[in-house]
Amino acid sequence: MPPASPIWAHFNKLEHVAAANKCIAHLKTYSSASTTVLQGFFGPDFKLNTKQRNNSHLPTEQNNIITVKRPILQLQKSINNFVDKISSAEQNKAELLFAQAVYQCGLFLSLPELEPIKIFFQKLCPYFKLPSRKALSTTLLDKVYEDIKNEVKDLINSANYICLISDGWSNMLQEHWTNYLITTPRPVFFSAHQTGEIRQTEENIAANIDKVISQIDHSKLSAIITDNASSMKKAWKLLAIKYPKVVFLGCVTHSLNLLIGDIMKLSWADRTMKNGKKIVKYFKSHQILAAVLKRYQNSSYDKQISLKLPVNQLTIELTVTELSHNQTVRIEDDIKSIVLNDGFWKDVDNLLKVLNELVIGISIFESDTPSLSKVLDWWESIYHPVIEVANLLDPSFHGCHLTSNSMNKISQFIQKYYSDDAVIIWTQILNYKEKNGVFVNKLAWETSDKVDPIIWWCGNFGDSAPKLTQVAKKVLSIPTSSAASERNWSAFAYIHDKK
């Protein structure tokens, strides 16, 4: 259908553009066109003669139209604003971010050479040039390393108090490594070295830790956390001579894991675990048994679940009972006797109750968040006086788990580690414990379990009780385990693999 507007009498429509239907000579003598419009076609010097001007019957408003002729350079600049391009600085920054993503995710360095990756970035940002494999393995790697190193250094320098975490690990080539992390309280990787032919005696362990301490401001060092090996505890004593104000702690989660190991050595627990493993292996190695079990699982849970404890006793018993009457499948008598024995399931239930509390404790203490004040609530036999100090200075506990002799131990701790200000600190502790003096603040106590303990101290008593606030900040920033160091070995294992 042709266009309805009369203006199309002067133009020919060509797809989404139009061509003039009037010749230039006609436009020059066309009296209906205003001078401004014609100057838009033929330039600012074009003028109508008097006869043409007098014959013009265009309305005054149309004769007053102003046409702005834009310079070519200005037009080019306007177009460039819509072109997707990046500067050299932006290119370098984008390359650095791409390299960080490759390193942090453990991706192969030839990633930019993959055709789908090239096409993806070409569509996303045509002006961005992917870094080469060589750049990723040399210059960019060095740049990212230096940036991260400086970031870690700044983080450590800006922290009020720090702790040192150390742990050892052996890769698949039996090369032993020791790594060191600093908590600020956020844990950050500091260094690692291969021990090689050096034996891990208490003297060598202490010397290596001392070498790391010499690289940091040891006046801010609150504690050193390692595992509970006997050689480590001997190394603590050697280091304590040089650093008497530093607290030495064993990993709480390591102790809890050792406790679980000791529990599983008990005859009834060991028997229960072995019988449970026997049931799981038997079902996994028999196709028909596994299929019947899955059918009961689907009817009971609307899904299939793995054969891990705790499993539903009724589901297992129904499976065994049904298959006992199946002529094509034979269940071994010892498996049948275990499953249908109520005593076995009671032992399973008791074992789960015991282990569940320890597992919850491990999950809490493996966190990167300092939780030293909670140790007394979980296991009183993991003892160091600083644990009781933390439990007292954590306002959410306020020493609720302390014994009658705890205050005596806390006073000894203050005299040992804060001898210069012991009188002031102990006075403030007594007022804090009884909520007297500056600690009578009712609103502060109402928010004691709603904010982070360190924030609570700094916000409420940083000015009125500065000495005790500094003690609280230092003690409550101590981590409970070396789990951060353990997690770091996952990255090492990825690097030190068969490839």
HSE-up of residue 293 (Cα within 13 Å, Cβ side): 21
Angle at 373 between CA 406 and CA 192, to 5 degrees: 120
Same domain? For 400 and 467 the reply is: yes
pLDDT interval class at 173 (50, 70, 90)? confident
Q: Are residues 281 and 246 in the same domain?
A: no
User: Is residue 32 domain-resident?
Assistant: yes
Of 137-141, 157-161, 278-282, 427-431, give the lowest mean pLDDT range. 278-282
Average pLDDT over the chain reads 77
Note whether 390 and 451 are same-domain residues.
yes
Q: Is residue 373 part of a domain?
A: no
Query: Are both 237 and 274 inside the same structural domain?
Result: no
Task: Quote the pLDDT of residue 199.
Answer: 86
> Are residues 216 and 246 both part of a single domain?
yes
Highest-confidence range of 2-11, 234-243, 287-296, by mean pLDDT? 234-243
H/E element holding 411?
helix 406-417
CA atoms within 13 A on the CB side of 77: 5
Q: What are 375-411's pLDDT values in tens digits?
A: 555 455 456 788 889 989 999 989 887 888 889 989 9
Whether 330 maps to a domain, the answer reads: yes
Closest CA to 354 of 257, 253, 260: 260
The tokens for 366 are: 């493996």
CA distance 26 to 375: 98
Task: Give the model's pLDDT for residue 85.
Answer: 74
Q: Are residues 246 and 270 in the same domain?
A: no
Q: How many separate domains does the chain show?
A: 5
Q: Which residues are within 8 A (CB) of 322 and not within 5 positions of it... i.e. 6 or more apart?
A: 292
Domain boundary among 202, 225, 251: 251
User: Is there a domain that residue 403 lies in?
Assistant: yes
Closest CA to 418 of 469, 455, 480, 382: 469
Percent of the chain topping pLDDT 90: 31
Helix and strand numbers (H, E) in the chain are 25, 7
Residues in CB range of 44: below 8 A, 6 or more apart: 69
| pLDDT classification of 56: cutoffs 50, 70, 90 | very low
SS3 383: coil
pLDDT tens-place string over residues 326-372: 555 567 778 878 878 888 888 888 888 888 877 777 777 666 565 55
Q: Is the pLDDT of residue 453 over 80?
A: yes
Query: Does 142 reside within a domain?
Result: yes
Residues 247 and 266 occupy one common structural domain: no
- Looking at 38, 69, 100, the residue that finishes a domain is 69
One domain for residues 270 and 247? no
Residue ending a domain, among 69, 103, 121, is 69
- pLDDT score at 300: 60
Model confidence at 221, pLDDT cuts 50, 70, 90, reads: very high
Q: What is the pLDDT of residue 446?
A: 92
When pLDDT is averaged across residues 487-498 and rounded to a whole number, the result is 58
Measured from the Cβ of residue 21, the count of other Cβ atoms closer than 10 Å reads: 12
Backbone angles phi and psi of 194, in degrees to 5: -90, 130
Q: Which residues pair with 223 in a beta bridge?
A: 163, 247
Q: Which domain holds residue 35?
A: 6-69
Strand order through the sheet with 176-183: 187-194, 176-183, 162-170, 221-226, 247-250
457 vs 465: CA distance, rounded Å: 9
Query: Is residue 203 one of the residues assigned to a domain?
Result: yes
Q: Give the C-alpha separation, 412 to 389, whole Å.
A: 11
- Any domain includes 80: no
Same-domain status, 329 and 403? no
- Tell whether 459 and 402 lie within a shared domain: yes
pLDDT category of residue 45 using cuts at 50, 70 and 90 = low
Q: What are the beta bridge partners of residue 167?
A: 179
CATH number of the domain to which 197 belongs: 3.30.420.10
Tell me the C-alpha distance between 132 and 20, whole Å: 53
Residue 485 maps to a domain: no
Task: Kindly report, residue by residue over 269-296, the tens digit of the pLDDT.
Answer: 888 888 888 888 887 887 777 777 777 6
Q: Are residues 267 and 357 in the same domain?
A: yes
Q: Are 471 and 391 members of one domain?
A: yes
